[in-house]
């Protein structure tokens, strides 16, 4: 199962990279900078397609099941005040019909120096496609990136209607 999930994850990343829009002039794939960055993120987090890797690396469920999101597995070593594209603080998982946890997305959760005055959101992906949200209850900037499960509301939307309540 682990090898199958890892292979499927790598295949998925390759498929996404090849399936992007093409430039009509020379029939070459043209990606926006943020799309290139998301593909790099997918490759950097492909190991977490195997839920056991996440658990063995010390990621912990900090939310239980959240409707339209899933379980939030935090990597405590990455929890800080800095956005690092290749080190998302959270990996989101949803149980499949057999109860096996499937990776669906990543989330960045950046703690501002002063949560009472968080200032501007972190500089995230290139361009203005990513929309950060300040969670006042947790005192942190958050950004979801639906790297695995497609989100009909957009790759950076906080909630995914494809995940049940």
The domain ranges of the chain are 2-145
Query: Is the per-residue pLDDT at 18 higher than 60?
Result: no
Assign 25 a pLDDT band (cuts: 50, 70, 90): low
Of residues 27 and 40, more confidently modeled:
40
What percent of the chain shows pLDDT beyond 90? 79
Six-digit token string for 165: 């309540």
Q: Residue 34 and residue 95: Cα distance in Å, rounded?
A: 29
Section 43-48 average pLDDT:
97
Q: Residue 72 and residue 163: Cα distance in Å, rounded?
A: 14
The tens digit of pLDDT for each residue in 79-97 reads: 999 999 999 999 999 999 9
Assign 30 a pLDDT band (cuts: 50, 70, 90): confident
Question: In this structure, are residues 95 and 101 in contact, taking their beta carbons and an 8 Å threshold?
Answer: yes
Q: What is the pLDDT of residue 4?
A: 47
**Neighbour tally for 151: CB within 10 Å:** 21
Question: In this structure, are residues 110 and 82 in contact, taking their beta carbons and an 8 Å threshold?
Answer: yes
Place of tokens 């099941």: 65
Query: Is the per-residue pLDDT at 24 higher than 90?
Result: no
Section 107-113 average pLDDT:
96
Section 28-42 average pLDDT:
92
């Amino acid at each position: 199962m682990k090898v199958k999930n890892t292979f499927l994850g790598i295949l998925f990343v390759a498929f996404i990279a090849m399936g992007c829009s093409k430039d009509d002039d020379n029939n070459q794939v043209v990606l926006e900078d943020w799309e290139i960055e998301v593909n790099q993120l997918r490759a950097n987090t492909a190991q977490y397609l195997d839920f056991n890797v996440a658990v063995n690396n010390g990621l912990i469920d900090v939310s239980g099941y959240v409707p339209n999101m899933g379980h939030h597995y935090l990597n405590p070593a990455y929890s800080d005040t800095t956005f690092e594209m290749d080190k998302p603080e959270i990996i989101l998982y949803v149980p499949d019909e057999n109860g096996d946890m499937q990776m669906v997305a990543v989330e960045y959760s950046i703690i501002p120096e002063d949560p009472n005055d968080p200032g501007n959101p972190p500089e995230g992906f290139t361009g203005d496609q990513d929309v950060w949200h300040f969670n006042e209850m947790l005192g942190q900037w958050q950004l979801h990136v639906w790297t695995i499960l497609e989100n009909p509301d957009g790759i950076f939307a906080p909630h995914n209607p494809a995940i049940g309540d």
